[in-house]
Each structure stands twice: as structure tokens, then as C-alpha cells.
Amino acid sequence: MSGAAGTGQVRGRVVPVDPSTVRTPAELAVALSEVKAACGLSLNDIRRRADDFVQRSVPHAVPLPRSTVGDICSGESLPSPETLRMFLIVCGVAEDTIDGWMAARVQALSKIGPVSGSERVRTADPRNLGVHRSIQVDLGAEGLPVYVPRDIDAELRTAVTAAQGRGGFVLVKGSSSVGKTRALFEAVKAVCPDWWLLHPADVAAVRGFADTPVPRTVVWLDKLDPYLTQLGRAGVPAGAMRALLAAKLLVVATLWPDEYIPRIALPTPGQDDMYAEDRELLGLARIIEVEHTFSDDERRRAESLAADDPRLRIALDTSGADVGVTQVLAAGPDLIRWWENADVTDARQCCGKAVITAALDARRLGATAPLTRDFLIAAAPAYLSNTQQATAPPNWADQAIGYATTKLHGATSCLTPVAAGMGQIVGYLTADYLHQHARQLRSTEWLPDLVWQALVDHHDDGEDALRVADSAEWQAAPRYAELLYQRHADVPYAVWRLKNLLAGQGRIDEAIDTLQQAEDAGHGSAARWLSYLLFQEGRFDKLRQRADAGDKYAARRLTSPLPSQGPLDDLFDMPRQHARSETIAAAQRLIASLTDLDHTEDGLPNGQ
């Protein structure tokens, strides 16, 4: 089809709309409504045509549900770039005019006010954005210490300035408490103080904002890892990040090295690429690294400012080759001493140390959500001797939690309470600096049974449960893994892992029952997995029954070659001494191997 500049032809008729005249969201909605009217298609027609494009794997094709088309034509919502392009193509608008419509969408977006929850950069409180509270010397000194210019400032501000003009993703990488977030905040505040700042709550919020971005917005992610791929959950797609950058927005974040390195490493040949999306997303970033300690130049700059800030003076006098100025300011070393050097003869301190250790162990094995008081009380005795338990006072739990939440120098504590409303605490989080230290120190320590049971009984976060269950398999505690997988059997990944666990123990009938229950509950993948398991175990009578009942997967299995020792058996026989990452990798290798054997229907579907 052809069309005059600024117009498109639909079914041989010229659409009476020039997209270059569109200025507001309301005008865009009216224009799209006129396109729909001119093409003569109903909402169902548009949906069916879009589905046909998707089924034929046309590049960039996306579904167009009736509700979506209705919303963009009525002005209830603005279309994403993908939705707008698909709508125009389905309606038959000439391709050489689509760029004009995309420009109209950008113009309409520019008239939208700030998204809910955003604020001006210049009014943002850096402590709400992830900047650590500082040690206190003078009573009432609540503000941040004076900012010591860092060696990376010039590079960082250049990157932010460039991104301000054309859109960009700036990522500051470094260990905990080295000043990443403070340096990033100072750079953003210096370069674009009047921009809007949005701190999205989760992956879904990022994706939603990418669909309808607001110009001149800083998307503040700070710790990037919650927005990346996690076990059982996809992270922010690289496509969503590209949409943000195409809208000329500034995206900023920080990341620890041990979260970055596994995600950029290329997978071993034959393994599923678990972090492919993360690697693509990180490839869009301008990465700037922060050193663990101050350089000589940074120390000289700090010395010149210390006279006006006694906190900085203390940090300079206390820091050294192993502990940096920023870590001292955030009370990091004191947290370690408070935990490791607790007096074992003092009930408050030894019980407090036990509570802290239980929390640190839980987090390193996958429990990242706030840990409840009930969990801490149930798990702490595992780290106390018989004598310490016997001589603990009746209010030992209150004393222990009081010790664990004591603020050191007014800055931070080993455990920080998380509010559930006024005067209510939902749970406790461990300090990042202490977690990083303990994760290395206790990496080979096995969790006591009492702590596993406490996690099963008192930690019910869904995503955490899957990570903890996988860790239980690694630590040769399969009964706790089984309990956690059973509790979350509404999640396909949990069903898949539970099936493997049961089959690996020779409990084939229970594995079959698990899959049948999942199938009855509506899990689309359960029928595939069940047919494969029956095939592997030689249950051909059961396969024939299912095939006769219309199960296409069972029918397909009956025409396959007889099973032999292969990748499924390898997974079932997987040694328990493998590290947790190897456990997950083995599962991914299974999926890749099944694909190689033309058993793609047996793999765990993406996003499930």
C-alpha cells in the first residue's frame, strides 16, 4: 500500500488523520479510533488477525486483545510501541507512515504528567534511595556526611550527562558499602536536578513504565539484582530497557560484583542459558566500577573536608588497607565485631548472636524476604549449647532481638526491622555488608535441621521458598525440600522439582500422583512431564490409557523409541555434594539435553 505524507491508506481509503497533528494522549486516542473505523474491522477481527501474525511468528508480532484495542481507542491507556505498530499493521495502515505514528505517540507521552510515586530529583531523600545511614558522633546529627569527591565522579557525571541527552543506562559496580549509591545520587542530582525520579517497586512496575514512559524521568533501580532473573521468575526484559532508553530516559542502578559475574559469563556448551536476558540487559549499560577503599587522592580530599565533619575524621582514623572510609561511615566493621565478638557468657549477647547467625544463614540459602520473629525464635536454639539454652532467661527472645537490632553509632544494625504498619513489625532483614561477609565465611557450613524446620514453618514467601528448597536439596536435606515444593505446588517449577525429587528417590508412584494432581489443577506442562515419566519407567499400559483418552503427549510417546539411560537419569542420580548453582545448572542441562533429543515438550517452559 502507499499513502501520502502523514496519512495512511486502509483498504484503499485514505485515513482522514495526519499523525503529525497529534499533540496529546486524547488526540492520539481519537486518531486511533478513526483508523479503526476506516478499516472496518471489529474488535474481534483485530484480535484474530493479530493472533494469526503471532502464530505465523511474524517478527515483532504481539497479541491485540479486545480490551487492549478498546482502551487505546478510548483513551483509557496509551499503546506501547509494539502494540501501536501491530494495531496499525493489522488495520492496514501504509508502512511508510508508521514512523509518523510512532512520533505521534512520543509527542502524546510528552504531555503526560509525572507518574504516581515520582518526585523531583532535587527533593529526593538519598536515604530512601539506598544510601546507607552514617555513624553518629554528635547527638541529633541526622544528615549525611559531607560528600568526598570520588575518582569516578568525572566519568560518572559524563555518562549521566550523555544519557540525559539521548537516553542511557548507567550501572555502578562495587562491593557493599563502598559508596556506589551515594556517588550515583550526587551525579544525578548535579546533572538533572529538575527531572522526575521514579523508584519502581518491582519488575512488573518497570515493564509497565516502559510501556508508557514519562519524558525527563530518572528510573532509579539502585540494587539491580531484584530486577534481574531469579529462580522461578524472569527479570526485566532487555526489550523493556530498550524502550526506556528509546524514550530518552536515564536508568541508573548499582550491582555487587558477585551478582554481575555469573550473569555475564557465557554458558557451558549444551547448557540452557539461564541468564541470557540478563546478559543482554547488562550489555546495554555503561558500567563504572568503584574501588573497595579510598585512593590516595580521595583520602587527601577527605582530609581537607574532615575538619568540618567529625564523622569523616573518625572514618579516616579508623580505616585502613582492608576497611575503607565508606565502610566505617556505614558502621560495616562494627557490625562484624558486634556479631562475631559477642560475649558467650552473657545471655543477651550469646542469644543475640544466635539470632543474627540464623538470619544470615537463612539469607545465604535463599531467604531474602523479611524473616519473622517466629522464625528467629524457632531457629536460634540451633546455635546455642545445651548450657546456654538451659540458662537463658524467660525473656531471652526479647533480649536477643534487642541485641541484634541495636544501632551501632546511630547508623545501622545487624538486623533491621521492617514495618507492617504503625507500631507493627513484619520481619527483619540482615545488613548487606554483614551478609556479604558471612556468605563467604560460612559458605561451607551446613544448616542444622532445626533451622530448616523453622524455614518450613515460619517463612512463607513464595519465591524464597523455591530458592530455599533447592538449597535443601544441595545440603542433603531432601525432606525439607519436599515439604517446600509441596507447599508451592501451584507453581510449575515446584511441581517439576518435586517430580524429579520423588523419582530420584525411587518413589515413582508418588511422582506420578504429583503430576496427575498438577494436571487436574490445570498446569499445562504436567501432561507432558507425566507422559515422559511413564515412558521412562515403562508404564506403557498407563500411557495407552491416556492416549486412548485423547492425551496427545501419551500418543506421541507410544510411537517413540524405547527409553535408555539418558539425561533424566543423570538428573535423578545427581550427587548431593554439588553446589546449589550446580543443582540448578543440572536442571538446565536436562532441559537442553531433552531438546537435543527432540523431547522439547519435556523441558520446563520459560516463564513457568
Is the confidence at residue 589, as pLDDT, over 50?
A: no
Q: Which residue matches cell numbers 530497557?
A: 241
Q: What percent of the chain has pLDDT over 70?
A: 85
* Mean pLDDT on 197-214: 90
Q: What confidence score (pLDDT) does residue 379 get?
A: 96
Q: What confidence score (pLDDT) does residue 413 get?
A: 84
List Cα–Cα distances, 212 to 89, 110, 113, 253, 327, in angstroms: 20, 10, 11, 20, 39
Q: Exposed, middle or buried, 122 (CB in 10 Å: 0-12/13-18/19+)?
A: exposed
Q: What are the two backbone dihedrals, phi and then psi, of residue 375, each rounded to the nearest 5 degrees? A: -65, -50
Distance between CA atoms of 168 and 217, rounded to whole angstroms?
11
Query: What is residue 293's DSSP assignment?
Result: S
pLDDT bracket for residue 579 (50, 70, 90):
very low
Of residues 590 and 116, more confidently modeled: 116
Q: Are 377 and 368 spatial neighbours (Cβ–Cβ below 8 Å)?
A: no
pLDDT bracket for residue 6 (50, 70, 90):
very low
pLDDT bracket for residue 138 (50, 70, 90):
low
pLDDT bracket for residue 140 (50, 70, 90):
low
Is the confidence at residue 3, as pLDDT, over 60?
A: no
Is the confidence at residue 144, as pLDDT, over 80?
A: no
Q: What are the two backbone dihedrals, phi and then psi, of residue 37, each rounded to the nearest 5 degrees? A: -65, -40
Other Cβ atoms within 10 Å of 286 Cβ, number: 16
Q: What confidence score (pLDDT) does residue 404 get?
A: 95
Lowest mean pLDDT among 28-32, 77-81, 199-203, 494-498: 77-81
Is the confidence at residue 1, as pLDDT, over 60?
A: no
Distance between CA atoms of 274 and 67, rounded to whole angstroms?
33
Is the confidence at residue 403, as pLDDT, over 90?
A: yes
Per-residue three-class SS string for 547-605: HHCCCHHHHHHHCCCCCCCCHHHHHHCCCCCCCHHHHHHHHHHHHHHHHHCCCHHHCCC
SS3 category, 418: strand
Other Cβ atoms within 10 Å of 373 Cβ, number: 17
* Mean pLDDT on 18-23: 88
Of residues 585 and 80, more confidently modeled: 80
Distance between CA atoms of 335 and 272, rounded to whole angstroms?
39
Of residues 59 and 42, more confidently modeled: 42
Is the confidence at residue 166, as pLDDT, over 50?
A: yes
Is the confidence at residue 12, as pLDDT, over 70?
A: no
The grid coordinates listed for 129 are 534511595
Q: What confidence score (pLDDT) does residue 491 get?
A: 87
Chain-centroid distance of CA 340 in Å reads: 31
In the chain, the amino acid numbered 9 is Q
Is the confidence at residue 351, as pLDDT, over 60?
A: yes
Distance between CA atoms of 41 and 304, rounded to whole angstroms?
72
Q: What confidence score (pLDDT) does residue 4 get?
A: 38
pLDDT bracket for residue 393 (50, 70, 90):
very high
List Cα–Cα distances, 600 to 271, 320, 370, in angstroms: 14, 55, 38
Beta carbons within 8 Å of 198's beta carbon, 6+ residues apart: 115, 117, 118, 209, 214, 217, 218, 219, 220
The grid coordinates listed for 252 are 541508573
pLDDT digits (tens, 9 = 90+) for 276-288: 899 999 999 999 9
The grid coordinates listed for 520 are 487436574
Distance between CA atoms of 586 and 240, rounded to whole angstroms?
29
Pairing of strands 424-430, 415-421: antiparallel
Q: What percent of the chain has pLDDT over 90?
A: 41
Q: What confidence score (pLDDT) does residue 364 get?
A: 92
Lay out the sheet containing 119-120: strands in order across. Answer: 119-120, 196-198, 217-223, 250-255, 168-173, 285-289
Angle between helices 25-39 and 66-74 (to 10 degrees): 120
pLDDT bracket for residue 569 (50, 70, 90):
very low
Q: Which residue matches cell numbers 550523555?
A: 162
Q: What confidence score (pLDDT) does residue 31 get?
A: 93
Q: What confidence score (pLDDT) does residue 593 get?
A: 42
Which stretch, 87-91, 311-315, 421-425, 520-524, has highest mean pLDDT?
87-91
Q: What confidence score (pLDDT) does residue 91 get?
A: 92
* Mean pLDDT on 122-149: 74
Which of 603, 440, 444 lies closest to 525 in space, CA to CA? 603
Of residues 571 and 138, more confidently modeled: 138
pLDDT digits (tens, 9 = 90+) for 92-108: 998 888 999 999 988 88
Is the confidence at residue 514, as pLDDT, over 60?
A: yes
Q: pTM for this one?
A: 0.55
List Cα–Cα distances, 422 to 397, 415, 418, 419, in angstroms: 22, 19, 11, 7
Distance between CA atoms of 227 and 244, rounded to whole angstroms?
15
Other Cβ atoms within 10 Å of 558 Cβ, number: 13
Q: Are 165 and 192 spatial neighbours (Cβ–Cβ below 8 Å)?
A: no
Of residues 470 and 412, more confidently modeled: 470
Distance between CA atoms of 183 and 169, rounded to whole angstroms?
15
pLDDT digits (tens, 9 = 90+) for 459-500: 988 888 889 999 998 888 999 999 999 998 888 888 999 999
Is the confidence at residue 407, as pLDDT, over 90?
A: no
Is the confidence at residue 375, as pLDDT, over 90?
A: yes
Q: What confidence score (pLDDT) does residue 136 get?
A: 63
What is the widest separation between alpha-carbon atoms in the chain? Answer: 89
pLDDT digits (tens, 9 = 90+) for 309-343: 777 777 777 666 556 777 666 677 788 889 999 99
The grid coordinates listed for 431 are 545488613
pLDDT digits (tens, 9 = 90+) for 235-257: 999 999 999 999 889 999 999 88
